[in-house]
Amino acid sequence: MPGGKDQPIGEFRIAPDPQATGLTRQLTGSTHSGETVSIAVIEERPLTIFLNSTEILTAMTIGDYPEFLALGFLANQGMLDDMRQVTGVDYDAESDAVVVRTVDKTGHEEKLRKKTRTSGCAVGTVFGDLYESVESVKLPDTKLRVSWLYSLAATINRTPSLYLEAGAIHGTVLCHQDLPLVYMEDVGRHNAVDKVAGWMLVNEVNGSDKILYTTGRLTTEMIIKTAMMGIPVLASRSGFTAWGVDIARKVGLTLIGRLRGRRFMCLAGGERLIRDADYRNMQDEDRRHRRKAAGDD
């Protein structure tokens, strides 16, 4: 798998590759003026995740990093704690399937019977008991410098991405202080988070000093996944849901939303903010780097 521990620190371990083959396709259509044009459109394809011999579910994904997606999904569902349990991860492009093999049967296969359909883009499936397991999570009381947030948002918005190439895609970035480390994109914002979680699992990366940045809304499922990853800060350009805020407050997750230019709202963990940035000298977000409207759901 790419993006291993041996890559240099101080730059992206994984960044989007807008020119990668197979992630977008040129399609022809017509514009409002009747002009025939060809545009880059993002791919969406099924990927079925198996845990040993049990089919867990089929995700609709752009298709990069299938192993990270499978491992991260299982970890975020509480079905996998550690790579030492894993004896193999086999991706078969022909059948659009990933099989994660573990030493012992995990017993989590049974949990399949209770599923939750959630408000996440792509991949809206959370298993019923997750809401209970996340309540026992207690995240560390990590301080957050506001200057890091501003720096991260500026860097991420300017990084070449499939979003800038084709739109209609979400991004999630694992960061340390003001440094973005792993930038995943996917048609489903939950897939992007799961791919980050898979990378963390494989590389034994601890979440306690990290920040997770997402372009998506701060719904319950996003907040539960972040808590399961042990990351104490979740920041987004987007808005909140009330239950999401409730859970964040309960588990000790610092929750920053509507982060655009110098503006943001903090609805959980505000006491951990170190307000070291002089927002008065900052511009509001300039148009060129603004993500497009609701469109990008």
Residues 118, 267, 259, 77, CA torsion sign = negative
CA atoms within 13 A on the CB side of 202: 23
Structure tokens that stand for 240 in this block: 């909140």
Binding mask 235-254 for its own copies (x = CB under 8 A): -xxxxxxxxxx---------
Q: Is 97 in the site for its own copies (CB under 8 A)?
A: no
Q: In angstroms, rounded to a whole number, what is the distance separating the alpha carbons of residues 49 and 91?
A: 9
- Taking CB under 8 A as the criterion, the residue among 108, 189, 195, 225 binding its own copies is 189
Q: In angstroms, rounded to a whole number, what is the distance separating the alpha carbons of residues 98 and 95?
A: 9
Query: Based on CB atoms, which residue is closest to its own copies, 106 or 236?
Result: 236
**Could you tell me the smallest distance in angstroms from the CB atom of residue 8 to its own copies?**
30
H-run or E-run covering 146: helix 146-158
Structure tokens that stand for 264 in this block: 């943001």
Q: Is 138 in the site for its own copies (CB under 8 A)?
A: no
Own/partner pairs, 287-292, CB within 8 angstroms, 24+ separation = 289/157, 289/158, 290/260, 291/157, 291/163, 291/215, 291/237, 292/167
Q: Is 111 in the site for its own copies (CB under 8 A)?
A: no
**Could you tell me the smallest distance in angstroms from the CB atom of residue 181 to its own copies?**
21
Q: Which stretch binds its own copies (CB under 8 A): 4-12, 87-95, 117-125, 225-233?
A: 117-125
Q: Which stretch binds its own copies (CB under 8 A): 7-15, 50-58, 77-85, 201-209?
A: 50-58
Q: Which stretch binds its own copies (CB under 8 A): 24-32, 93-101, 172-180, 225-233?
A: 24-32
| Residues across the chain | 297
Binding mask 201-230 for its own copies (x = CB under 8 A): --------------xxxxxxx---------
Q: Is 267 in the site for its own copies (CB under 8 A)?
A: yes
